[in-house]
Amino acid sequence: MISTAIRVARVGSAAELAAAALMMLGFPVLMVAALVPSVYAFAAAAAVTYLADHYLHRKGSYLVNRLSKVRAGLSIRFLIRQLLLILLLARMDLSNRLIFYGAIACFIAFYGLQAPHGALVTLIRNRRRMPVATRNVDLKSRIHIPDAPPLGLLDRSAEKMLHLDLAAVVGLLVSAITNSAVAGFVGVGITLALGSLYVLVLMPYVRGRKTPPDADTVLAAVDDWLAEYQPGTVLYFSGSKDSAYQVNMWLETMEQLESRPLILLRERVILQNLAPTTAPVICVPGGVHLMNMDLSTVRVALYAANVGKNIHLLRVPTMKHVFIGHGDSDKLASVNPFSKAYDEVWTAGRAGRDRYAIADVGVRDDDIVEVGRPQLAPIQRWQGVPDGRIPTVLYAPTWEGWDGDPGNTSLVLAGENIVKKLVKADPPVRVLYKPHPFTGTVSAEAGAAHRRVTALVEKAATARAADARFTADTAAQTAAKAELARIEARLTELAGTADDKRDEAEASRDDVADLKKYEEIARLRADWNDFYWQALPSYQHAVITGAEPRLYDCFNVSDAMVSDISSVVSDFIASGKPYAVTDSAGVGAEEFKRANTAVRAAVILSNSAKELGGLLDAVRDPSADPLAADREELKHYLLGPDEPTSIDQFNGAVAALARKAEARNLGQEARIAAGDPEAAELAEALPGGKPRTTAGEAEGAAAG
């Protein structure tokens, strides 16, 4: 019942739920205490509401945000408490005393201070929001970016300002009890003095050298850095917070490029969720700012997603534009007709090329280049189940998608059947359940199915822990957990507690990659992964969510996988391990294989999951696996050859396309030199020698 209430109220814990309940009940009690009147009851209820309100704000409770939407926001709650205090004083026959009028004057003046306080806080935050935010870009030597105000001044500033009324409230209550006005006037004075001081302390941060440079100065500094750095290849990305993984998967590849890389983002939330990288990163939220940025040295632009904001860079003809996507699968997204807007489309293997040919969406075969999947390098080839360990089966369903197609995910119709059969398998297997991070974001039914599957795995894990047939080296696990704690402490130390609290201006100024620190973090993360699996008994079922362990780490400790039509299947094929895919739409095994290339070497499951035995047999006896040869053939078809390596193929494709871009640009220069007026007019409108793009032109480009 409590868990249901927590879910409905959307709070994080029972403590949050209790605090919310106390705060909501506290205000009716305050009113009753004021009417009775009872100073002690009022003081007790006021203390409860103060503490509950503070606790919910400190926890960042969703409920606090909802209260503001129904006109019960922070300021209203404090005002009601103050009005009820005035009512209490009136009910105690103090309305003809000077302290009564002092209380009214105090609260009016106190609320008068809220306006300049709120205006100053907003102005400081707006002025410290950069027109572009950067990582690994040297702005410090080019412009002066001052330190942000002390964190205590801006963090939860409205809550802190309003809580300054506590001195007046306590003083007035003491006066009501003692029948002496001294405590009340002292409290009133403290509240007004502290409120005025808070406003005065903020004022220096809105003028002079304590404010960052204006937008033109910052943009000029970025252009100056670009001219010095001369990026050759850009990875461009726009999307929501939840889509950050789509750009994160390409960061290591960008770091390995032979040309100078640049990561170009459009949303601040993506920058905040970007994985650590040594590549330079520039986040440009404004379309006008992006289109005025000097990217004249860039020859290749890579796009990981098809989104509307791509048009802001696609309009530049001095570079070649490539769709690289964020996965390789048989989903319709892999053959989006928008792909024909790019100069080239890069696929992992022959399958991607054939996909476009079959779809006939306007992408020419000559514009498709097979480059492999550089991200798959960490995936280890299968050598069979190690002696003395039971097989591990990974269940990694994809999410429900936007279109409501029942074939998108197996979770809703087959998830419970799959997990039930796996946890009851004889001989036993271990189950790892790693759902897609978007699961349940569109469909409540999928979210409910996810919770049921999670409960099944956790229940089976509890039962297995108590099963005498399964034993673990507890000393080794204890040592591994100790190492995990040590590594996590060191990672926290390297991340720096202050880094998380820095504002955008400070982060842009200070975040320049420390290669030694970056290499240590990478090594520690690899060690963390090793010790994570050592700390988890090799027989124990587990639900794995969040960024760590990564999906590929789960691949490496698994002996087989059950999934759906998605890039997860194509990636898993790189391991050579047996896998199963669920035909949730019920089209039939033959049609399912015909329509979806990646399942041609898979065990096809119906929603009942009765075919799972075939997958488990292949794991237990690889020599009798009827699909082993098919998987090897399919691997080459989907992902390309093993040699040359994928990163070498990728670098070669970048270099070849850069040469095409350079040839095009040299041709334009030759036409200009020959006196072609049309070429000269076009050159003036492009990066490197163009007039600044206006806001109206930017809107037109976006609309186009």
Note whether 290 and 267 are within 8 A (CB): no
Q: Residue 3 burial (CB < 10 Å; 0-12/13-18/19+)?
A: exposed
- Each residue's pLDDT tens digit, 331-364: 666 778 888 899 999 998 898 898 888 888 888 9
What does the pLDDT average to over 453-473? 92
pLDDT (tens digit, 9 = 90+) per residue, 212-249?
A: 899 999 999 999 999 999 999 999 999 988 889 899 99
Do residue 434 and residue 484 come from a single domain? no
Cα(465)–Cα(468) distance, integer angstroms: 8
- What are residue 581's phi and psi, to 5 degrees? -130, 140
- The pLDDT of 199-208, averaged and rounded, is 91
**20 within some domain:** yes
pLDDT band for position 329 (cuts 50, 70, 90): low
- Are the CB atoms for 348 and 328 separated by under 8 Å? yes
Which neighbouring-strand residues pair with 467?
none
Whether residues 438 and 333 fall in one domain: no
CA distance 256 to 45: 62
Domain assignment of residue 558, yes or no: yes
For residue 695, how many C-alpha atoms fall within 13 Å in the half-sphere facing its CB? Answer: 1
Q: Is the pLDDT reported for residue 330 higher than 70?
A: no
Residue 361 structure tokens: 């969406």
Is 675 among the domain residues? no
Query: Do 447 and 524 belong to one domain?
Result: no
1 falls in which pLDDT band (50, 70, 90)? very low
Q: Is the model's pLDDT at 526 over the cut of 80?
A: yes
The whole-number pLDDT of residue 608 equals 95
Q: In angstroms, what is the C-alpha Rg of the chain?
A: 31
Beta strand pairing status for 281-283 and 133-135?
antiparallel
Which of 601, 616, 644 is the endpoint of a domain?
Answer: 644
| Residue 102 and residue 156 in one domain | yes
30 with 111, same domain: the answer is: yes
Same domain, 163 and 30: yes
Tell me, yes or no, whether 701 lies in a domain.
Answer: no
* Domain assignment of residue 700, yes or no: no
Per-residue pLDDT at 690: 46
pLDDT of res. 546: 84
How far is 667 from 38, CA to CA, in rounded Å? 88
What would the pLDDT profile of 682-698 be if each residue is shown by its tens digit? 666 555 444 445 444 44
Q: 370: helix, coil or strand? A: strand
What mean pLDDT do residues 668-677 have? Answer: 82
Do 368 and 607 meet the contact criterion of CB atoms below 8 Å apart? no
Torsion angle (degrees, nearest 10) of CA 522, 524, 525, 527: 130
Number of separate domains in the chain: 4
At which of 486, 508, 533 does a domain end? 533
List the single range of 66-75, 134-143, 204-213 with lowest mean pLDDT.
66-75
Question: What pLDDT is attached to residue 566?
Answer: 85
Residue 194 shares a structural domain with residue 238: no
What is the pLDDT, as a whole number, of residue 675?
79
Domain shared by 327 and 243, yes or no: yes
Beta carbons within 10 angstroms of residue 551's beta carbon: 18
pLDDT at 450 over 50: yes
Is 653 part of any domain?
A: no
**CA-CA distance, 572 to 15, in Å (whole number)?**
42
48-65: pLDDT as tens digits? 999 988 888 887 777 777
91 and 134 fall within a common domain: yes
Euclidean distance between the first and final Cα of the chain, in Å?
53
Residue 667 lies in a domain: no
Q: What is the pLDDT of residues 568-607, one digit of tens each?
A: 998 899 999 999 999 999 999 999 998 888 899 999 999 9
Q: Which domain holds residue 401?
A: 378-471+537-644
pLDDT above 50 for 699: no
- What 343-346 contacts at long range (C-beta under 8 Å, 24+ apart), as own/partner pairs, is 343/367, 343/657, 343/660, 344/320, 344/368, 344/369, 344/653, 344/657, 345/369, 346/322, 346/370, 346/371, 346/650, 346/653
Q: Give the model confidence (pLDDT) of 481-509 as tens digits.
A: 999 999 999 988 887 644 456 788 888 88
Does residue 341 share a domain with residue 258? yes
Nearest to 264 by CA among 245, 285, 243: 285
For the stretch 102-160, pLDDT in tens is 999 999 999 999 999 999 999 999 989 889 999 999 998 999 999 889 888 988 899 99
Task: Show which of 179, 210, 241 is a domain's final residue.
Answer: 210
Please tell me the distance from the alpha carbon of residue 237 to that of residue 275, in angstroms, as a whole number.
14
What pLDDT is recorded for position 359? 84
Residue 28 lies in a domain: yes
- CA distances to 207, 249, 283, 361 from 518, rounded to whole Å, are 37, 17, 21, 43
> Which segment, 355-369, 512-526, 551-565, is predicted with the most confidence on average?
551-565
- Residue 6 host element (H or E): helix 2-9
Average pLDDT, the chain: 88
Statement to judge: residues 433 and 572 lie in one domain:
yes
Residue 489 CB coordination number (10 Å) = 10
CATH number for the domain harbouring residue 355: 3.40.50.2000
The pLDDT, as a whole number, for residue 556 is 95
Clarify whether residues 204 and 271 are in a common domain: no
Mean pLDDT confidence for 557-563: 96
Q: Residue 499's pLDDT is what? A: 45
- Provide the β-strand partners of residue 261: 233
* Two structure tokens written together for 96: 């003809």
Is pLDDT of 472 > 90? no
